[in-house]
Amino acid sequence: MSKIIRINTKERTFNYSEPDEEFAGLGGRAFTSRMILKEVPATCHPLGKHNKLVFAPGLLAGTGAANSGRLSAGAKSPLTEGIKESNAGGLAAQKIARMGIKAIVLEDKPEDDKWFNIVIKKDSVEIIPAGDLKGKGTNETISKLWEKYGKTGVICVGQAGEQLMISASMQLADPNGRPGRAFGRGGLGAVLGSKNIKAIIIDDAGSKRVDIADKDAFTAANKIWSKALTDHPVSGEGLPAFGTAVLVNIINEAGAFPTKNFREGRFEHAHDISGEKLSETITERKGVVSEGCHPGCVIKCSQVYNDKDGNYLTSGFEYETIWAFGANTMIKDLDDIAVLDKLSDEYGLDTIEMGVTIGIAMEAGVVPWGDGKKAIELLEEVGKGSALGKIIGNGAAFTGKAYGIDRVPVVKRQSLPAYDPRATKGVGVTYATSPQGADHTAGYAVAPNILSVGGSEDPLKKGNNVEVSRNLQIATAAIDAAGLCLFVAFPVLDHENGVQLIVDLLNAQLGASLTTDDVVALGTQILKDEIEFNKLAGFTKKDDKLPEMFDDSFEPHNVKWGYTEQELSKTLDFK
Amino acid sequence: MPEILFNAFSFLQKKLKANGFDHSNVTIDVPENHSVIDLIKSMDLDPDGIEAVFVNGKAGDFEYIIKDKDRIALIPPGTPGPHRLLLGIRPGDPIK
């Protein structure tokens, strides 16, 4: 991977360039965050001409290494107004890498209202009118683009991105041509929309696999790597059988399942929306219990959920989505939750942000708690572009202001996900301190906190959770740079030489002699870049905190948040 | 005789069903001085197939002696929720 494609969306021109020394060894999140820091003025308007949208595959993308098909997208976030890296599966990462492309950078902003698609092929870039795709949902958009271009990688926006809503996602074609994968968090769909780009088509026809410096060493390392993933009970058995939604019952049992906008930690109807129930329903309706989100995935935690008549309804139905539209809003009907997920994918919206936002609308009495049908009608307003839809599509913080609600669970304006920070303190520290805003994937301290497996952190007490969060944030950043699925963490952690396996793959591919220390240094540097950008954008330590609603006691464990600004400030206090 | 609220999740549900036991929000009586491991064995489950036990919503000990009104839940290996041991969570980690 050696070339960068820069596309000027105002002039509708492009050029190729070689990365300079500073960027040459970077991939994925390491690349996107460094470029945003270096090239985007931190105080710029995120929907203005100075913001850039950067796509970068991870260092291992396109190699055949198992679970290496994740793509990073970076920009200044219109939701948080800080730096953002969002990470997704789908087909694009490996195709981009196989064409020898290190990054695709969208720059500037059109002065007219014409919409375009970008078609990237092995030796060409075309910027062509989007035609009648404008105004269409992502499902139809991807279907039509596959009819025209075949089984390509597609990154696109739906109606939410077109309307520049700050909860807008970019949806990606999954291996079956459905919009089941997403750059969900941080409103990056609005950044693509601000540049009047409906879709990016990645066609790698004629490309080869990426060059491997030491093929024999790579093959040997990948064999061990794949076996480690498939032999592990989480990545090899639990995730394929139940998907991430198996966490519903477990987090609920732990008393950390935020219910009714984070009022309490157990949902009376958790069993009705659990991974076990989901798996049973999918089987009954002849859906697909387990499928990968990208070629080369051996974990296969995604699935296809059919409606009562056996017709396709949605896919990529995650724990966080089921929580957001379920317990958080008191909706207990899995079919209603699936429709809300489908609509979010179709319009191009972050499901976590939308679930929390519907909770805020319920606080305001716009729709009743637990009413799935009314929640569906509310989300449909986003697709219509009505005034109400524009409020909802701009997320929880915006909706809270619109209705005068003081109970709004956001950090840096981004909604908290599915683990209550009072009952899983390590996750809470990450919510408060991550440069990304509240984000569970920025440092996932759930398992050691909850299960006491391999660690003894009490999830209800402060303990060493600041240190745990720091280390997890570093590790997660490094995994994002490699382009690996975050779920590789299970075997990596439990395998005697887990991290060394990743290092072996990287060394064989790049002809390098990296050590595990280098991996830690890479993760640390990514966080430093992101913190520096946010500082330049005006963020201070006072932004690294949870809202005051978390000062309230939380049942069933009767715990409070309780961290001070000074305690939290030590989390990412790199020297 | 202590009365408890019992749950088992994931793969354990199918195993319990095959063994003739309910698995979700079940109220059951257990003998006095019964430990969690005794409970597991009484349901014909293999203790090696249990990764963690929740006692009243907190990860607990398999030797714990069950008390009246306890809430007990069993979890098999294979539960996601990344990172068990990542950087520095336990002493001796190679990447600490």
State the Cα angle at A234 between A229 and A238, rounded to 5°: 120
CB contact under 8 A, A455 and B85: yes
Give B75's contacts in chain A (Cβ within 8 Å).
Answer: 250, 451
Distance CA A160, CA A367 (A): 21
What average pLDDT is seen over chain A? 94
CB contact under 8 A, A238 and B51: no
Q: How many angstroms away from the CA of B78 is the closest CA of chain A?
A: 4
Closest CA in chain A for residue B49: A233
Q: Residue A271: CB partners within 8 Å, gap ≥ 6?
A: A249, A277, B24, B25
Q: Residue A362: CB partners within 8 Å, gap ≥ 6?
A: A261, A329, A330, A368, A369
What is the interface pTM, i.e. ipTM, of the complex? 0.89
Q: What is the mean pLDDT of residues A69-93?
A: 97
Q: What is the mean pLDDT of residues B17-35?
A: 97
For chain B, give every domain's residue range. Answer: 3-75
User: Tell me, what's the pLDDT at A448?
Assistant: 52
Residue ranges in A483-515 assigned as alpha helix (H): 489-494, 498-510
pLDDT over 90 at A405, yes or no: yes
Q: What is the mean pLDDT of residues A167-189?
A: 97
Residue A407, exposed/middle/buried by CB under 10 A (0-12, 13-18, 19+)?
A: middle
CB contact under 8 A, A246 and B9: yes
Among B52, B79, B94, the residue with its CB nearest the CB of A246 is: B79
B69 touches A at CB < 8 Å: no
Closest CA in chain A for residue B95: A516
What proportion of chain A, given as a percentage, has pLDDT over 70?
97
Query: How far lies A265's CA from each of A179, A326, B25, in Å?
Result: 32, 13, 16
Is A116 in a helix, a strand, or coil?
A: strand
Among A247, A472, A516, the residue with its CB nearest the CB of B86 is: A472
pLDDT over 80 at A241, yes or no: yes
pLDDT band, very low/low/confident/very high, at A215 (cuts 50, 70, 90): very high
Instruction: Tell me the pLDDT tens digit for each residue of A42-80.
Output: 999 999 999 999 999 999 999 999 999 999 999 999 999
Among A234, A496, A497, the residue with its CB nearest the CB of B80 is: A234
pLDDT over 80 at A538, yes or no: yes
Q: What is the mean pLDDT of residues A514-532?
A: 94
pLDDT band, very low/low/confident/very high, at B83 (cuts 50, 70, 90): very low
Residue A306 tokens, joined? 């059919």
For chain A, give every domain's residue range. Answer: 3-202
CATH architecture of the domain covering A3-202: 4-Layer Sandwich (3.60)
**Could you write out the three-class secondary structure of A141-198?**
HHHHHHHHHCCCEEEECCHHHHCCCCCECEEECCCCCCCCEEECCCCHHHHHHHCCEE
Kindly report the backbone phi and psi dihedral angles of residue A531, in degrees, each rounded to the nearest multiple of 5, phi listed first.
-65, -40
pLDDT over 70 at A447, yes or no: no
Q: How many angstroms away from the CA of B89 is the closest CA of chain A?
A: 6
Strand partners, A129: A116
pLDDT over 50 at B96, yes or no: no
The residue that leads in pLDDT, A473 or A11, is A11
User: Tell me, what's the pLDDT at A456?
Assistant: 57
Closest CA to A115 of A135, A145, A142, A139: A135
Instruction: Tell me the pLDDT tens digit for each residue of A342-352.
Output: 999 999 999 99
Residues 25-54 of B with CB under 8 A from A: 25, 51-52, 54
User: Tell me, what's the pLDDT at A1?
Assistant: 58
* β A101-107/A410-411 pair status: unpaired
pLDDT band, very low/low/confident/very high, at A2 (cuts 50, 70, 90): confident
pLDDT over 80 at A496, yes or no: no
Residue at token pair 């203790």: B47
Closest CA in chain B for residue A233: B78
CB contact under 8 A, A254 and B78: no
Closest CA in chain B for residue A471: B87
pLDDT band, very low/low/confident/very high, at A444 (cuts 50, 70, 90): low
Residue A256 tokens, joined? 């950390």
Residue A143 tokens, joined? 């279907």
Instruction: Choose the mutation target among A237, A253, A488 for the interface with B, i.e. most B CBs under 10 Å.
Output: A253
pLDDT band, very low/low/confident/very high, at A458 (cuts 50, 70, 90): confident
CATH architecture of the domain covering B3-75: Roll (3.10)
Residue A189 tokens, joined? 């769909």
Least confident range from A28-37, A136-145, A425-434: namely A425-434
Q: What is the mean pLDDT of residues A363-387?
A: 98
pLDDT over 70 at A455, yes or no: no
Residue A416 tokens, joined? 């908290």
Q: What is the dihedral of CA A532, A535, A432, A472, to 10 degrees?
A: 10
Q: How many angstroms away from the CA of B16 is the closest CA of chain A?
A: 14
